[in-house]
Amino acid sequence: MHAITIPEPGGPEALVWDEVPDPEPGEGEVLIEVAASAVNRADLLQRLGYYDPPPGASPYPGLECSGRIAALGPGVSGWAVGDEVCALLSGGGYAEKVAVPAGQLLPVPTGLDVRQAAALPEVACTVWSNVFMIAHLRPGETLLVHGGSSGIGTMAIQLAKAVGAKVAVTAGSKEKLDHCAALGADILVNYREQDFVEEIKRATDGAGADVILDIMGAKYLERNVNALAVNGRLAIIGLQGGAKGELNIGVLLGKRAAISATSLRARPADEKTAIVAAVREHVWPLVAAGHVRPVIDREVPMSEAAAAHHVLEESGHVGKVLLVAP
């Protein structure tokens, strides 16, 4: 088969479409013939040599895919050869075939074609596990999403609105904020021109956000805690603004607030299985009903993954960039 390999870390041109051995499905795994994968920001870090695949994972990039089941490994039940699926991966999605634990499979949701489904697993699992399973966003509460027009952001806006929460977003341009508003965001903050702490306080009568989904890490730590409401929950999933921050813990204590931080890729298989099951139970019906949809910026041939990485590096997209297999 062919896959995108990274012979040497570097810029987008480090991605090479090459012939590699076919993967074999092991115990409890299925082999997927890939229709599409999607680019995640973590793939850019892996390409640069800063984010190695976890032990046992495929060396090729790609944290999600969709396609058709081509073979079942020993001990797999509930799935059949030919089923159209999408999957959360630990790597290997930028390839014509990938082996994945059966617990990380989802059916293609009703109403979507198989390629569109590749835009969902990583963002649905990340947002559901952090905003709902960890931070317990409730109807009527306010969620602040940093990077509202990102792959993650576009899913977070839709899921929070679907459960009856109010949504605030930050983004770097009016055009991107307009996209967020079209998805249902209520409070729009241009992070290049406005202070999000002031804007959230103003829009919530001084209360602040009940939950914040953060992708900036250190750079926003203090301001995020300032923007939290009493009993607020800050869920950190990205470190685009650095990993080492300083915080007045007294502010956290005074608000009885909590901070969590997780990386989905590094979580053990049984936790991923539980998250995928929760997504199938809670998110898939919202997709089938049309309340949540994949936001796809563009489709790029998988062999031209370098062009897709350029788009993410320049933040020239809204939602997800798909990589379509030949």
The site for ligand NAP (CB under 6 A) is made up of 40-42, 122, 126, 146-147, 149-153, 170-172, 176, 191, 215-216, 237-238, 240, 262-264, 312, 315
Q: Name the minimum Å distance from CB 213 to ligand NAP.
A: 9
Measure the CA dihedral 161/165/64/267, to 10°: -170
In the complex, minimum distance from the CB of residue 7 to ligand NAP, in angstroms, rounded to a whole number? 24
User: 90 by DSSP, 3-state: which?
Assistant: coil
Quote the least distance from Cβ 253 to ligand NAP, whole Å.
26
Count how many residues are written for the chain.
Answer: 326
Long-range contacts of 106-110 (CB under 8 A, 24+ apart): 106/276, 106/279, 106/280, 106/284, 107/83, 107/280, 107/284, 108/66, 108/84, 109/284, 109/287, 109/288, 110/287, 110/288
Question: CA 261, CA 43: separation in Å to the nearest integer?
Answer: 19
Q: How far apart are CA 122 and CA 275, in angstroms?
A: 11
2 vs 41, beta carbon nearer ligand NAP: 41
Return the number of the residue (71 or 181) whose C-beta is nearest ligand NAP.
181
Residue whose tokens read 């051995």: 21
Residue 22 CB, nearest approach to ligand NAP (Å): 28
For tokens 């090479």, the residue is: 16
| Nearer CB in complex with ligand NAP: 112/171 | 171
Residue with smaller CB distance to ligand NAP, 62 or 238: 238
Task: Round to the nearest angstrom and report the end-to-end CA distance of the chain.
Answer: 11
**Two tokens, residue 162:** 């679907």
Q: What does each C-alpha distance from 306 to 15, 53, 302, 303, 321 come to in angstroms?
A: 6, 19, 9, 8, 12
**Helix-, strand-, coil-residue percentages of the chain, each rounded to 5:** 35, 25, 40
Cβ at position 39, least distance to ligand NAP in Å: 7
Q: Characterize the bridge pairing of strands 29-38 and 64-72.
A: antiparallel
| Residue number with CB closer to ligand NAP (58 or 126) | 126
DSSP for 167-210 reads EEEEESSHHHHHHHHHTT-SEEEETTTS-HHHHHHHHTTT--EE
Q: State the nearest-atom distance from the C-beta of 278 to ligand NAP, in Å.
A: 15
**Least distance in Å: CB of 78 to ligand NAP?**
26
Shorter beta-carbon distance to ligand NAP: residue 146 or 233: 146
Cβ 276 to ligand NAP, closest distance in Å? 14
Residue closer to ligand NAP, measured from CB, 69 or 157: 157
Contact residues for 168 (Cβ-Cβ < 8 A; gap 6+) = 142, 143, 144, 145, 185, 186, 187, 188, 189, 196, 199, 200, 203, 209
Which residue's CB is nearer to ligand NAP, number 105 or number 216? 216
Q: Which residue is nearest to ligand NAP (CB)?
A: 238
Give least dist CB 275 to ligand NAP, A: 10
- C-beta of 112 vs 144, nearer to ligand NAP: 144
